[in-house]
Structure 1
């Protein structure tokens, strides 16, 4: 006979809600430029591949910064680092508003990425440290809601505000968002410190192995290597190629940026739909079924979006692609949080680093291939690789379970 898990305290639930706001902001910052790439190309008189630097440089910086924020969060406190990183993001967003060249805008995106890098992985790690194991997956899904809505908000606001007011206004929106979220986190951090009766300065902690020793232990684990490799591929063909979807709809079908951004934003809505039914699907299909079905859905929908002669089929294709992608991605997250419970911040940060380094690789490769094979073929290729990855990861999960 199983007992119902004890409910989380109101204070913990409030902190989790604020962390969801932080993950929303981080993901919105990542996707805010997707729909504005053609406009940036026009304003700065550069090619689409050059304009895509605002996405690729963000992703490279984001991924590399994980190597710093993981151990920093383990030592200084994950909530503390998330708080001040959110405030730092507002500075980068303000710099973007006042950029006068593409190089200056890329630099502003780099500054924003340095702060945004801490928000999602350390939020997940804080939940892993704070929430009982019997409620961990459900609580991670709540954090995932913020991340998923960030995809919707970033792509939609990027397209709508660029069309209506110009490319600077999406960054003004992000500056305001990061400022508000950072201040709310700061107030909650001070409440946590007061409740603990501790000063803002961290107290004595047990000695931890150096970062490189922790990272080496994770990287040499057989299953950890599989998860991290899958994260690189997922970042490249999922998040990376996704940056080209709105531009493809704009260029091939002549849609305004606002409509193209709104259609691609349905990818995030598909993720929200998955979150709503995830508990049932996990019980019904298990991890192996989720990754194989999810990958196949992404591959099929990418084909539809790449070659449809009319924009209407792109609407359900984008929605179902998001649903399938998050079937795969949330299974990856669940495995990442369990790679090294003794150094969860470092482990999740390594996972995020691989994910977003893969994204940067995907953006660079996609931009380079566009001139040779076209945006439609690039999107179809990304979907096909995602489907193959789902099949492979399901096989890897079966092998792991058979050895257990």
Structure 2
């Protein structure tokens, strides 16, 4: 039965709140370091703890969504996330901040995968990628806005105010979701927590291929190319951190463009054409970044790179939502965990490449891996 898609704007707001947790800390690290009287490097575990918990928590929240209802579990997770943000604003030293941010990450990671799984229940597969694109508007806007706004708020009222504002939004949206969740809660399937569904997914060749693709996607892009663009602009071309941030923001504009065009692109190119075109566009943009003669060239490539990435990555998300229809939240959570695992391994591998051969080798290597992955995915069956 088709679900009520009037919930989609509310889910996009939930995606904004949850996705904002990743970007919230970007401008705040020096302020936290000064407040806690440590060096900036000492604050790194605050970021790492949140990211690792964000991925690890999905081991449980996916099966919980299948058992008790995706919207209900996502709403409760968002409320706990809001409480965690508020508690983090009261952190009294670095150790307490690390513990609170890590605990917050455990529930933050539930929201977006469960929302995508709910869309999988609500929307036929042929329309799913375009609908997921509409939902991702919230997360994309978080990537664009939360970092800069967090910095502005912190300058005016301190870093704790940035946490409290995002906490208020998460609590408000979570409360609204709780009001809408009961009708969907009856869709919970099975008895017990259902962790065995992960084994069901991995026993299927298509499931293993999808998890491998997610890990490679995370390694090449989330852990490989994207994190190094800002540092590349600063070290190679002498941009200030602020100007580098403005250049990289073009990626978010390209992602937003995709959310507006997703329905037309899917109808025009089809799934295989979309993953092939998106992968090819990413490979070309990354190769161009590797050979960029100036910062302006990197800036020109950011918008098409953002659009191409979501064309490519959106296909993987849609396939994850159909990998295990009887336990859809578990499948999407497994996809997200594979992505984070690949991101972690990719950061280590491409960090070694950077140390040995420089930024050009990092972007060129990511371009080659992305092109190969896109070609492989384009040959795979759609479902």
Shift of 1:324: 1.0
Residue 255 of structure 1 aligns to a residue whose secondary structure is: coil
1:199 paired residue number = none
CA 371–157 in structure 1, closer or farther in 2 if over 3 Å, else same: farther
- The reply on whether 1:88 has 2:80 as its aligned counterpart is yes
Distance 2:332 2:99 in 1: 26
**2:195 paired with 1:212:** yes
Q: Deviations over 1:194-235 (max 9, x none)?
A: xx9xxxxx7797644762332111111111111111111112
Kindly tell me the number of residue pairs found equivalent between the two proteins: 380
TM-aligned CA distance change 1:152 to 1:127, over 3 Å: same
Q: Structure 1 residues 157-166 or 94-103, which shifts more?
A: 157-166
- How many Å apart are 1:155 and its aligned residue? 4.2
- 1:24 partnered with 2:16: yes
98, 115, 129: which one aligns with 1:123 = 115
| Greater mean deviation of Cα atoms: 223-232 or 178-187 | 178-187
Matching residue of 2:98: 106
- Of the three residues 49, 52, 57, the one matched with 1:60 is 52
**Pairing of 1:322-341 with structure 2 (within 5 A):** 322-341=306-325
Task: Note if contact 2:68-2:189 (Cα within 8 Å) is conserved in structure 1.
Answer: no
Q: Partners in 2 of 1:315 and 1:184 — Cα distance?
A: 39
Deviation at residue 378 of structure 1 after TM alignment: 3.3
C-alpha change, 1:132 and 1:203, in structure 2 (3 Å) is closer
Structure-1 residue corresponding to 2:174: 182
Aligned partners of 2:325 and 2:349: how far apart in 1?
A: 34
How many angstroms apart in 2 are the aligned matches of 1:158 and 1:293? 35
Distance 1:341 1:185, change over 3 A: same
* Aligned mates of 2:50, 2:364 — CA distance in 1: 24
- Are positions 1:150 and 2:133 aligned together? no
From 345, 353, 357, the equivalent of 2:329 is 345
Q: 1:41 and 1:245 mapped to 2: Cα distance? A: 24
CA distance in 2: counterparts of 1:93 and 1:295, whole angstroms: 36
What is the CA-CA distance between 1:278 and the residue it aligns to? 2.3
- Cα separation, partners in 2 of 1:330 and 1:370, compared to 1, 3 Å: same
Mapped contact 1:31–1:155 kept (Cα < 8 A): yes
Residue 264 of structure 2 is matched in structure 1 by 280
Q: Matched residue of 2:57: which SS?
A: helix
Whole-angstrom CA distance in 1 between matches of 2:43 and 2:290: 21
Give the root-mean-square deviation of aligned CA atoms: 3.3
Q: Distance in 1 between matches of 2:348 and 2:29?
A: 14
Q: 1:231 aligns with which of 214, 228, 241?
A: 214
Over residues 308-344 of structure 1, what are the superposed CA-to-partner deviations in whole Å (9 max), with x where a residue is unaligned?
A: 4533222221111111111111110111111111111
SS in 1 for 2:301: helix
Q: Offset of 1:121 from its aligned partner?
A: 0.9
Structure 2 segments unaligned to the other structure (5+ residues): none
Matched ranges for 1:171-320 at <5 A: 171-189=163-181, 192=182, 207-208=190-191, 211-241=194-224, 242-306=226-290, 308-320=292-304
2:39 equivalent in structure 1: 45
Counterpart Cα distance in 1 of 2:350 and 2:25:
16
Distance 1:213 1:152, change over 3 A: same
Closer, same or farther: CA 167–376 of 1 in aligned 2, 3 Å: farther
Distance 1:205 1:328 in 2: 31
> Shift of the alpha carbon at 1:118?
0.9
Mapped to 2, the partners of 1:388 and 1:123 lie a distance apart of: 30
Structure 2 contact 290–364 (Cα < 8 Å) conserved? yes
**Deviation of residue 268 (structure 1)?**
2.0
Q: 1:291 & 1:55 partners in 2: Cα distance?
A: 31
- Contact 1:160–1:258 under 8 Å retained in 2: no
In 1, Cα distance between the equivalents of 2:90 and 2:83?
A: 11
Structure 2 CA distance for aligned equivalents of residues 292 and 221 of structure 1:
24
Aligned to 1:3: none
Aligned-residue offset at 1:358: 2.0
Are residues 46 and 31 of structure 1, via their aligned partners in 2, closer, same or farther at CA, if it must alter by over 3 Å? Answer: closer
Task: Identify if the C-alpha distance between structure 1 residues 95 and 223 changes in structure 2 by more than 3 Å, giving closer, same or farther.
Answer: same
